[in-house]
Structure 1
Amino acid sequence: MPDVMSQRVFGGNVCLQLLPRAAYSARDAAQSQTLGVTLERQQGVHAIDSDRRVDFDTWPGVLAYTPIGVEVFSESASGGEYLLMRLDEPFASEYLPAVTHRVQSSGNRRALTLAREMRRLLLAAQPDQLALEQCALGFVGLTQPTIEAPDKVAPASFARVLDQIAEQFHQPLTLEQLADTYGHNVLRFLRDFTQAIGLTPHAYLVEVRLQAARRMIERTDLNLASIALDTGFAHQSHMGSAFRKYLAMTPSQYRSRF
């Protein structure tokens, strides 16, 4: 399991953290303003500024903003990769809206795009400070003012589709198969899925395969060709293209790092 990737920017006032997929039980008293976005699906139980624990099922592309003083308890048996930004005062008061409760939005394509770019930069051997700062400012800008816009597609409507992808990502999947699970035609499925998650079904499937390949590289000694086939890539070079595009390194470089 890789360590948490962390980098401070803007004179140390902002800390960017890439949290790996791992079981956890944590309580955060929110002594700093935080912005976070999910990079993969995560399920567990949480309590937001209360003692009442409720189940959660969070998709990729969920942007959450938690102000100072709002305590968050969260627990998950498997976790999920998560990009977290902690902002110190007075930086937060200058750039973030004044709210008293935790707010979030799902299907935030811009947030997911920025989070994936920051993941690529944080995983680099020598992170580009200017590029990280630009991404961080773009991330902060997402809170103005649409974070509380209502979701147009109910999250529960895609639970069965996400379960299907999680169970069958190593197999060829078609839009027709996924649309059948959703219960509507392929055009409506494509529109609703992209709006709800912030990624097309194909892009989401590639991300799930990429996450699975990363875990196998980190935790096993299997050769890369076998890992590629086991995680649904057509061949090793196909997996390599995904690693270079989304992580800016080859699978061999990723293995040597972790």
Structure 2
Amino acid sequence: MSVDPASAPTASRTAARAVDLFKIYGRGDSEVRALDGVSVDLAAGEFTAIMGPSGSGKSTLMHCLAALDTPTAGQVVIGDTDLSRLKDKALTALRRDQIGFVFQAFNLVPTLSARENILLPLSLAGRKPDQAWFDTVVDTVGLRDRLGHRPAEMSGGQQQRVACARALVSKPEIVFADEPTGNLDSTSGAEVLSFLRRSVDEFGQTIVMVTHDAVAASYCDRVVFLADGKVVDELRSPSREDILEHMTALQAACGARAGLRCCA
């Protein structure tokens, strides 16, 4: 019996990969290495959090992985595509067709309804929506009765759920979420995180989330920790307590290194 690849287990496949990634700003004494030789594989069908102290490079890593920024050196691969081989037009098409985005600030168009915001990426690409998939996504985020409302007529949690639905409706290879609960109260944040978790478990979606919140990261399958532009640790099946312990140790280590630099 043949197996539909779309329904096959995805955990053994790599959705995105960074290989010896560097992002350097400035030169000489003012040089800053936001990324300093980062290599990491992100498995398909998993929910991964990227965490680290302020200035650790976590947002820079996500921006490079998501083709929003260009690394100074190294390789980024989405699926089977090496981003360094793509010209601007092909990069734009990849971001539109293979990558979904969820931002802290929602980034909804205020003059459009929830339905129109969700379908906007497909409209821009000139693609017709898969109605069955649209219905599945809308019902999963619980927005069926809000589709005609504009962002100003919805709560923050509802707006972020619209943003999540927009990210998923085009069936992207991978979704990048940058502090998706940063502007939400705990109840709304839990609703958004539960939806992201469910999209991984039920739809096989791949999600990479940058967060500073141990509670948010505890929804993930894996947490990758950065410090000083390097991958320094990771956790599988993390609990809030385990994450807090690792983050406390990282903060202390980074503080000690900063002190040594000041004294040098």
Fold conserved between structures, TM > 0.5: no
Higher strand residue share: 2
Higher relative contact order (CA 8 A, sep 6+): 2
TM-score, scaled relative to structure 2: 0.25
